[in-house]
Structure 1
Amino acid sequence: MQRFLKSPHVTGWLLASPVALVLAVFLILPMLMILVISFWTATEFSIVPAFSLENYEFLLGSPVTYRVFLNTFKYAVITWAVTLTLGFTIAYFLAFHVRSRTWQTVLFLLCTIPFLTSNIIRMISWIPFLGRNGIANSALMDWGLIDAPLEWLLFSDFAVILAFVHLYTLFMVVPIFNTMMRIDRSLLEAANDAGATGFQTLVNVIIPLTKPGIMIGTIFVVTLVMGDFITVRFMSGSQSANVGRLISNDISLLQYPSAAATAMVLLVTVLIVITALLRLVDIRKEL
């Protein structure tokens, strides 16, 4: 028995068993419960625990579902593009233009300061800034750039995406910065000695070596945006919707089976997106 327990294969399973148990209890089991409930039906006063495809038939047969999913993808793609641009630029500056490790640490911590407050507080703080009589409109009118307040600054897709970018840019900065700090500086010197311009070094050396960090940041941002609902609700003034809001509305109406079905469809969609992304880049190099 002692010889069996000392086997490397058995030792590995024993070491992994606590983590596996936690994942099974707090991740797999809840997901299985949501899956089971998604096949139940609900009436106005009760939930019927009987197998039925009614929720999925209604969900997949409604054109509203496809419009909401398309809107969700729109938010995810635009937010991803903006956060990638900002995140890569910030990470590049910190990694290659700030020489002192002390200043790198200080500037990086400055980027994390907004995370010391609640996401909701940071999101709501945009409302008085973007409002009809807010700071932005007042400043633009005082400068003579506009004659009337801009209505699209608040309670619009612009406001939703702005809030998403504010909330989730750091999730793009951190993995990209971490990957850039691992790049061997001798590779950059070799590219410079070979006569490569700064742009050529960026395109042919830095970006390829930063792909794992970009992919990790992409997964973070896309999954967070697709699952968010409170930002869309407040920043759009309830004039727009995403899948998260569908789930939230069903829960508020006590339609738990319908909410569970929508959640499972969203989960499958996100897993398909992540699987497609992981086929492009092997992020195990980063982990």
Structure 2
Amino acid sequence: MIPSVKQIESAFRRVQDTITTFLTNVGDAPYHEDEWHYERGTGGGITRIWEGSPVIEKGGVNFSFIRGASLPQSAATQFRIAEGTPFAATGVSLVMHPRNPHVPTIHMNIRYFEAGDAWWFGGGIDLTPYYPVRREVIAFHRALKSICDAHGEDYAVHKRACDEYFFIKHRNEMRGVGGVFFDHLRTNRKHNLEFVEALGIAFPSVYGPFIEANKCRAYTEAQREFQLYRRSRYVEFNLVYDRGTLFGLQSGGRIESILMSLPAVAKWRYNWSPEPGTPEAKLSEVYLKPVDWANAVAEGEE
């Protein structure tokens, strides 16, 4: 049976609740919940925010479901759909900016959109470490490949799309170590929903190991400064290239929810680069480029 928009909405609400429970437990802190309404149509969303906790310096998990009577001109042009077509959109998006530089930032998004006869799913998950551990990066990609394999999705295709999408053109580097990314997924509505829901429900098992292994690791002030410096690249990508941010602004979305992805603190340093041979230099030299991580060799596997 083809799932209805209401069923897709319910599935996405379950994803938000599952992730919220996980983050509340590992973050050892409550969240602030903000319910909002879509002013240009019907629907709205629930934003859950963590700020200033021992583990999560700033993070949020946002659910939204909106309907509009008329697709905005900019979105209609982008999607090649007649202007004025009624539309519906629902999704879950999250970004976690941890306090400890040894814990990577992570982003996940699953979404569904329909307008007229057109419909599709999109989404993905990607990791942005500051001091990456090779075996952890490999495990992350292997976990994503397992999810793709279980649902008949081509991990290699989605991984390559992620590498290409999360590329900061004006910096000539990837935002992080990638993950999976897909858009306009519309092969089978039931199967596509099962895949994106599985990706969302798996978030605790995919990200949890990074938190547990690294949240209590000691770090220096210099490492903290490097984390803030790298966060500036994250901000640049989100404000210049991210399609979700741009669509939210174009469709009159809620600005607080759209910009929840930004970190609490970031720093820009003029013409700075790390010393050669340092872990900070290794990040760009080894990790911020396309690598077949799922088939890479981890320590102890030689």
Instruction: Name the TM-score class by shorter chain.
Output: under 0.3
Normalised by the length of structure 1, the TM-score is: 0.24
- Highest relative contact order (Cα 8 Å, sep 6+), 1 or 2? 1
Bigger-Rg structure (1/2): 1
Normalised by the length of structure 2, the TM-score is: 0.24
Structure with the bigger percentage of helix: 1
